[in-house]
Amino acid sequence: MKAFLIRCIVQAAAILVVAYLLPGIHVSGVVAALVAAFCFGIVNALVKPLLILFTLPATIMTLGLFIFFINGFCFWLTSELVPGFEVTGAFTAIFGAVLVSIVSWLLNYLISDDSSHHGDFDHHNKHSSNSDHQVKVIKAKVISSS
């Protein structure tokens, strides 16, 4: 339950960041962003798999690029369901969905513990204190450079 709440908060933060960056996405406040994050998770869990299944021929013909349109549609659908969260335009929805995914991934990576990263440099030697120190130094460099 704690992990779910943290993911919702991170997703809400990502939505707020993207709303700040893109002029076609508007969020009325933190509560609307939290509700949008929860609703976006529900839409991605329930609606997106059905859309992928029904549009499988289009996805195959476009070599997977149609998934961007599905993600944009799910993002737009969330804006239709949540008062205080607005997405104007199809391309804004597609680009917003991609940006929310990227920002959410980055925030999840930065706040999670070292043992949950599968792509860390210490992948083969997780119990080495030297490797743990290197990962912490790399994270510190990433945080301080941004």
- Structural domain of 56: 2-112
In a domain, 40, yes or no: yes
Q: How confident is the model at residue 112 (pLDDT cuts 50, 70, 90)?
A: confident
With cut-offs at 50, 70 and 90, classify the pLDDT of residue 1.
confident
Residue 132 within any structural domain of the chain: no
pLDDT at 132: 56
Q: Which of 8, 84, 19, 16 is nearest to 44 (CA)?
A: 8
The answer to whether residue 37 is domain-embedded is yes
* Tens-digit pLDDT profile for residues 44-85: 999 999 999 999 999 999 999 999 999 999 999 999 999 999
Q: Is residue 101 situated within a structural domain? A: yes
User: To 10 degrees, what angle do helices 66-81 and 30-54 make?
Assistant: 140
Is 23 part of any domain? yes
Bridge pairing between strands 25-27 and 85-87: antiparallel
**Predicted local distance difference test score (pLDDT) of residue 10:** 93
Asked if residue 141 belongs to a domain, the reply is no
How does residue 122 score in pLDDT terms, banded at 50, 70 and 90? very low
Instruction: Indicate whether 31 belongs to any domain.
Output: yes
**Is 42 among the domain residues?**
yes
Interior CA angle at 9 toward 7 and 10, to 5°? Answer: 65
Q: 32-46, 53-67, 96-110, 129-143 — which is least confidently predicted?
A: 129-143
Q: How many domains does the chain have?
A: 1
List Cβ<8 Å contacts ≥24 apart for 95-101.
Answer: 95/22, 96/18, 96/22, 96/24, 96/25, 96/72, 97/68, 97/71, 97/72, 98/68, 98/71, 99/14, 99/17, 99/18, 99/21, 99/22, 100/11, 100/14, 100/15, 100/18, 100/40, 100/75, 101/71
Write down the pLDDT at residue 2.
86
Measured CA to CA, the distance from residue 104 to residue 6 in angstroms comes to: 11
Enter the pTM of the model: 0.75
